Amino acid sequence: MRTNRLSKGLLLFPALMFLTGLPALAQASPGSMPQPTMPNQQPTTAPGTSPIDSSGAPNPQAIDDQDFVRKALEGGAAEVQLGQLAEQKSQSDDVKQFGQKMVQDHTQLGDQVIKPVAKQLGVKEPKGLSKKDKQLVASLEGLSGPQFDQEYIRAMVKDHKQDLKDFKSEAQMSQDPNVKKAAEEGTNVISQHLQMIEQIAQNHNVAVNGK
């Protein structure tokens, strides 16, 4: 009898061990198994000056920067050519001097500030003046004396007001530090030019408030 009881006890022991191990097996369910280590994902690169950002989508601000620089190159070239025209055709010393300053300042601004940024952004230098500037040059070439001075002064006031607005806006909006700095430097130069030409307009009694 004692042998039978001992045999039954030995049989029950593995069963009890199995039952007591069930909770541990339940905790070690497949859902709680350590997941395979995945390669670390690369962080998304912040948009820079490239027209295409890291996701392959167009970068609107970079495109705006390129457009601004392209227009700045075109406008600077126009100011130089118009300044040369003023030196040749004007009969007024102040208008001649202003034209000379346009040639000097916009050549310097273009060579030292705008063109290096254009190269960085991949913006090619314009091959010629814009259609609008070509028309302005052609119209001024047909004038002389006081009539030339009046139309040149009006054109310079109008252009510098618009340029000042564009450069200020770019200086505030651009996220590219080089473009921002170029826009800020251009703003200072254009602001000085606008003050000068507005004073010249007063000296020549040229109305410049109208469009």
- In which band, very low, low, confident or very high, does the pLDDT at 148 lie, cut at 50, 70 and 90? very high
What is the predicted pLDDT for the residue at 208? Answer: 85
Q: Is 52 helix (H, G, I), strand (E, B) or coil?
A: strand
CB atoms inside a 10 Å sphere around CB 108: 12
What is the predicted pLDDT for the residue at 54? Answer: 52
Domains located in the chain, CATH noted: 60-203 (1.20.1260.10)
Q: 186 and 194 in contact (C-beta within 8 Å)? A: no
Tell me the residue type at 68.
Answer: F
Say whether pTM exceeds 0.75.
Answer: no
What is the predicted pLDDT for the residue at 138? Answer: 96
DSSP type of residue 5: H
DSSP type of residue 12: H
DSSP type of residue 17: H
Alpha helices of 34-144 — where are they, by DSSP H? 60-89, 93-109, 115-121, 131-141
- In which band, very low, low, confident or very high, does the pLDDT at 18 lie, cut at 50, 70 and 90? very low
What is the predicted pLDDT for the residue at 62? Answer: 82
Tens of pLDDT, residue by residue over 36-68, are 444 444 333 333 455 555 554 457 778 999 999
